[in-house]
Structure 1
Amino acid sequence: MRVAALSLHGIRMDSSNHYRSDLTDLLQKSGADAAVLPAFSSLALGIGTGRISAGASFAGTVRAAADSGSGWQEEFLALHSELARDNGLFLTAGTVYERENDRIYHTVCCFDPAGNLCCRQRQTHLTRFEREQGLSRGEELILFDLHGLKAGLVVGIDARHPEVGRGFALLGADILLHSGALKGELNCWPQAAGMWAQVQQNQFWAVEAFFCGRITGTDFAAGAAVIGPCEITPGQSGYLARGYPHTPFICANLEMEALYRIRREYPLLKMLNPQAYREDLFA
C-alpha cells in the first residue's frame, strides 16, 4: 500500500477551487492509496477564503473558528469528501474545531475512496494552552478499516502521549495517521519524541503530516514522515520517508509482511501486562 503525507506548503488558499486544483495535482502525483493532511487545515483555508475571521492571536482565531457555527466545517468536510472520491483514496482531511453541547473539540476526519466518512477522532489530551482556550478532550480511540488494515487517527498533541499509541496498539492497530503541527522552527527532536517513539514502542506503521506556515502571527514547521519499526526500515532509522517543512509531499510503500514478520520474531505486545490497561481502555 502506498501512503503520502502533505504539508499544504505551496497550496493556494485564496479560494476553494484553487485549493481543490492544487491538492488534486499533488494527490495524483503521489499515487497514494491513503493520504494525510496536517492539523489546522480548516483554519488555514477558512482564513484564506474569508470564511473564518482571523483573530488578534492564534487563540482568538481558534475561538472564532469554533464560534463560526457548523457552516464552514461542513463545507470543509464536504470538499475533502469530494477530493477523496474524485481521487479514489483514503483522505485524512486535517483538523476542524467542532462544537457540541457547548464544548469545543479538536477533531480529525477521514474519508474513504467513495467519499464516505470512515472515522472521526477527537483529540484526547490537551495542552495547558488548549485548556485555557476552552477546548474539551475526546474520550475514545476509534479504529477503522483501511484496505484491510486496522487504522487509527492521531490528533495534534496526542502524538506526544504514549498512552495513545499503546491504546491503539492494544486495540490491534496496524497503522496510525497523524495530523500535526509544531510551533516554531524545524526541530527534529520534539517530533521524534512523538510518533517515531510510539511506533518503536508498539510495532505499527505511522504516517504524519505537519502544517507548515503562519496563522495569525504563529509560525509552524516540521517535516512529514512515514515511520516504521527500526528493524524493517533503511539503516534501522525508523523512517521510510522524511520531508522538510517546505516539502509539498512525501510518500512510501508499506510492506505489510515485513511488519507481520517483526511482530512474529519479537512479539512485543505479548510481553506486556494487559490487565494494567484494562480499567482505562475497556471499562
Structure 2
Amino acid sequence: MNIRFWLGRYEGVAKSEDLLKTIARRIHAVGAGGDTSCPQLLVLPSTSIKLSQPEADKLIAEISEMAAQASLYIVPGSLLVKEKSGEIKRQSVMISPQGQVVLLATQTHLQPEERELGLQQGTDISIGETEFGKVAILLHTDIFIPELWRIYALKGVKLMVCLSAVQKPYTHWKQLSGAWQNVQQNQVFALESALGGEHFEKAYEGKVEAYGPCEITPGEEGFLEQESAAENLATGKVQLGELEQVRAQYPLLQQLNAPLYNQWLPRIYRGDFS
C-alpha cells in the first residue's frame, strides 16, 4: 500500500486559533481530499500552545472535524497539556479520515531545559492502528532514543512520525543523528516535521524530510523527500511494499536477541539493575 504525505513547517504558532488557521491553509494548499487512490497524511510540527485537558480535547475535536471533511489523516503537531493530575506533558495525536483519534502519543524522554519548563515525561508508549498498518509518533528528545525505535520496530511499526526540535546552532548532521540513523538501524520509514523559530526563549531550526532504508531511496542516501525551500513543505509517497522487499532480502529484525531485550529493557527503564 502507498501513503501520500505532506510535511509542513512553520514558526510562531502559540494559540489554538492560529493552529486551526494553519491547518486550514495547509489543507487548501495541498488540495487534500482530491486523491482517493491511497491514504493521505498531513503532518505539522510542534507548537508552543499550552492548554488544560478540557481545552485540548475541544481543540482536537475541531481538528477531527477538519480531518473528516478533508478525508485525510492529520498529525497537528504537539501541544503542552495540563492533565487533571496537574502534570504538564507534551502530547500529539493522529486523527483518521473518519475524524477519530487513532493514536495519542506522549513524550517519554526529557532534556533538562524541558524539565525546567515544568514538563513531566510520559511512562507509556502508544501505537496507532491504521488501514496502512501500525504507526508511532516520536516527540522531540524521543527521536534520539534508539531503544524506542527498536521497541516500536519489534512491535510491528513500519511508519514513524517525528516532530523534532533541534536547537541552534543547527547542523543537518545533528538532525540526521535522530530519525535518519534510526531508520537505517530498524528498516522503517520516518516522516519528520521540524520546529523552527523562537520557542520559550530558545531558537530552533530544522528541515522537513522523509526517510527510508538506503536501499530503496534515490542514490541510496536514505532520503525519500526533502522540503521545498519556497514552501517549507515536503510531499511524496511512502511505498510500504518496498519496505517488505528490503526486510525479505535482509531480515535484520529477525537476527536480534529479542529475549534479551524482554529481559533487560523493562528493568533498565524501571531502574532495576539487580
Shorter-chain TM-score bucket reads 0.7 to 0.9
Aligned residues: 259
The separation in 1 between residues aligned to 2:119 and 2:86, in whole angstroms, is: 10
Higher helix share: 1
Deviation digits for residues 137-175 of structure 1 (CA, Å, limit 9, x no counterpart): 112222222323111111111001111111100111110
Please point out which of 76, 80, 87 is paired with 1:93: 76
The separation in 2 between residues aligned to 1:112 and 1:91, in whole angstroms, is: 7
Letter matched to residue 28 of structure 2:
D
Structure 1 alignment gaps of length 5 or more: 47-64
Aligned 8 A contact 1:7 1:246 in 2: no
- Greater shift after overlay, 79-88 or 253-262? 79-88
- How big is the alpha-carbon RMSD for the aligned residues of Structure 1 and Structure 2? 2.6
The SS at the match of 1:254 is: strand
- C-alpha deviation, 1:123, in angstroms: 0.6
Aligned 8 A contact 1:124 1:139 in 2: yes
- The answer to whether 1:33 aligns with 2:32 is no
Please point out which of 222, 243, 249 is paired with 1:265: 249
- The answer to whether 1:84 aligns with 2:67 is yes
- C-alpha deviation, 1:220, in angstroms: 1.9
Task: Look up the match of 1:130.
Answer: 114
Letter matched to residue 175 of structure 1:
L
Aligned 8 A contact 2:32 2:70 in 1: no
- The answer to whether 1:22 aligns with 2:21 is no
Letter matched to residue 44 of structure 2:
L
- The answer to whether 1:8 aligns with 2:10 is yes
The separation in 1 between residues aligned to 2:197 and 2:113, in whole angstroms, is: 20
TM-score, normalisation: structure 1: 0.82
Deviation digits for residues 175-196 of structure 1 (CA, Å, limit 9, x no counterpart): 0111222222542011100010
The separation in 2 between residues aligned to 1:83 and 1:135, in whole angstroms, is: 29
Q: Does the C-alpha gap of structure 1 residues 21 and 3 become closer, same or farther in structure 2, counting only changes over 3 Å?
A: closer
Q: Does the C-alpha gap of structure 1 residues 189 and 247 become closer, same or farther in structure 2, counting only changes over 3 Å?
A: farther
- C-alpha deviation, 1:215, in angstroms: 3.1
Letter matched to residue 25 of structure 2:
D
- C-alpha deviation, 1:11, in angstroms: 8.7
Q: Does the C-alpha gap of structure 1 residues 227 and 121 become closer, same or farther in structure 2, counting only changes over 3 Å?
A: same
**How high is the sequence identity, in percent, across the aligned residues?**
25
Letter matched to residue 56 of structure 2:
Q
Structure 2 alignment gaps of length 5 or more: 268-274
The SS at the match of 2:192 is: strand
Task: Look up the match of 2:99.
Answer: 115
**Which structure 2 residues correspond to residues 53-68 of structure 1 after superposition, within 5 A?**
65=50, 68=51
The separation in 2 between residues aligned to 1:228 and 1:74, in whole angstroms, is: 33
